[in-house]
């Protein structure tokens, strides 16, 4: 559905349902250069299980208008503004990569609005290589190539999609190619510049789940130790065989893991 956030026409996928104030709500937040479609399967699943699902397109992404935001904190505040616009008092947040930092920051700084947090393919801090940043700044396709290749486990470079007939590398590339010039650089810079992650993690009071790919090359499991240590009793699920693009590489395992916290 289209709605207005901070004066801009914005979009969120709701499984074609109106927001029901009597149901729990789950907000899905995509990663860098992506849009709501990365969470289609999960959103459909939790909608059928009696939730309001709100898979957003961050400003400048997908079907949302406006300039891309340049800081994780701004994106977190935008999520709260979106909840206000949708008259949703409190929600569980599920974020992937950049979206996971947005969700965590939101949970830390707006604790009354978030009752559960799931971070998929995450780490903090989340440094981005100069090669990716430079390519993204130049709107060079090489940025899409690097993120796509390193975004999948080595085995998945050759496919093996559980979703019949879909070539995951091609699907991810096409989604990146749809992003507007400058969007990926804004997102990557936001990740790279977000230094408050571990501090924010310590402020999160709601249940937390980290869902990690055992073969993630962009946000390796080993890099998540400071984050894991900062949270109070996080639940950690490591998915064998998956890289960073967990929604595509392990869609069923992701659903099962999300049920642990949602």
Partner 1 sequence: MAGPDYPGLDTMALHAGAQPDPTTGARATPIYQSASFCFPDSDYAASLFNIERAGHVYSRLSNPTNAVLEERIAALEGGVGAIATASGQAALHLAIITLMGAGSHIVASAALYGGSHNLLAYTLPRFGIETTFVDARDPKAFAEAIQDNTRLVFAETLGNPGLDVLNIPAVADVAHAAGLPLMVDSTFTTPYLIKPFDLGADIIQHSATKFLSGHGVVIGGLLVDGGRFDWDASGKFPTLSEPYAGFHNLVFTEEFGPAAFITRARKEGLRDFGACMSPTSAFHILQGMETLGMRMSRHVENTRAVVDFLLSQDVVERVGYPELDGHPDKALAAELLPRGCGAVFSFDLAGGREAGIAFVDALDLFSHLANVGDAKSLVIHPASTTHHRMDAEALAAGGIGEGTIRLSVGLEDAKDLIADLKQGLRAAGKVIAKKGAA
* Number of residues in contact with partner 1 under rule CB under 8 A: 45
The alpha carbon of residue 117 and the mean position of all alpha carbons in its chain are separated, in whole angstroms, by: 11
Residue 170 interacting with partner 1 (CB under 8 A): yes
Q: If phi over 0 gives left and psi between -120 and 50 gives alpha, with beta otherwise, what is residue 176?
A: alpha
Taking CB under 8 A as the criterion, the residue among 2, 4, 67, 141 binding partner 1 is 141
The total of other beta-carbon atoms located within 10 Å of residue 238's CB is 15
Cα dihedral 4/24/113/9 (nearest 10): -10
- Cα–Cα–Cα angle for 93, 85, 15, rounded to 5 degrees: 60
Task: Tell me which stretch binds partner 1 (CB under 8 A): 105-113, 172-180, 192-200, 222-230.
Answer: 172-180
Cβ-based nearer residue to partner 1, 4 or 163 = 163
Task: Tell me which stretch binds partner 1 (CB under 8 A): 73-81, 115-123, 141-149, 189-197.
Answer: 141-149
Task: Tell me which stretch binds partner 1 (CB under 8 A): 18-26, 66-74, 142-150, 204-212.
Answer: 142-150
Q: Kind of pairing, strands 8-13 and 25-29?
A: unpaired
Cβ-based nearer residue to partner 1, 141 or 232 = 141
At which residue do the structure tokens 């937040």 appear?
29
Residue 44 interacting with partner 1 (CB under 8 A): yes
CA distance 262 to 190: 27
Token duo for residue 62: 């997908």
Q: Which residues would be at the binding site for partner 1 (CB under 8 A)?
A: 13, 16, 35, 37, 40-42, 44-45, 48, 131, 134-135, 138, 140-146, 149-150, 155, 157-167, 169-171, 174-175, 177-178, 251-252, 255
């Amino acid at each position: 559905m289209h709605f207005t956030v901070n004066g801009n026409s914005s979009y969120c996928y709701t499984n074609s349902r109106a927001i029901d104030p009597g149901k729990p709500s789950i907000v899905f937040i995509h990663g860098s250069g992506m849009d709501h479609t990365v969470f289609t399967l999960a959103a459909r699943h939790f909608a059928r299980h009696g939730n309001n699902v709100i898979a957003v397109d961050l400003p400048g992404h997908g079907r949302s208008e406006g300039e891309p935001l340049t800081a994780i904190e701004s994106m977190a505040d935008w999520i709260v503004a979106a909840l206000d616009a949708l008259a949703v008092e409190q929600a569980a947040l599920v974020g992937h990569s950049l979206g996971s930092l947005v969700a965590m920051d939101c949970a830390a700084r707006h604790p009354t609005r978030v009752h559960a947090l799931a971070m998929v393919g995450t780490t903090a801090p989340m440094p981005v290589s100069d090669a990716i940043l430079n390519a993204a700044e130049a709107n060079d396709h090489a940025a899409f190539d690097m993120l796509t290749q390193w975004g999948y486990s080595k085995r998945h470079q050759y496919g093996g999609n559980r979703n019949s007939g879909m070539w995951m590398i091609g699907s991810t590339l096409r989604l990146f190619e749809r992003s507007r010039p400058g969007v990926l650089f804004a997102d990557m810079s936001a990740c790279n510049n977000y230094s408050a992650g571990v501090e924010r993690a310590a402020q999160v009071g709601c249940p937390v789940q980290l869902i990690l790919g055992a073969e993630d090359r962009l946000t390796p499991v080993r890099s998540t130790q400071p984050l894991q240590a900062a949270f109070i009793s996080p639940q950690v699920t490591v998915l064998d065989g998956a890289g960073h693009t967990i929604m595509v590489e392990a869609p069923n395992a992701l659903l099962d893991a999300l049920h642990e916290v949602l």
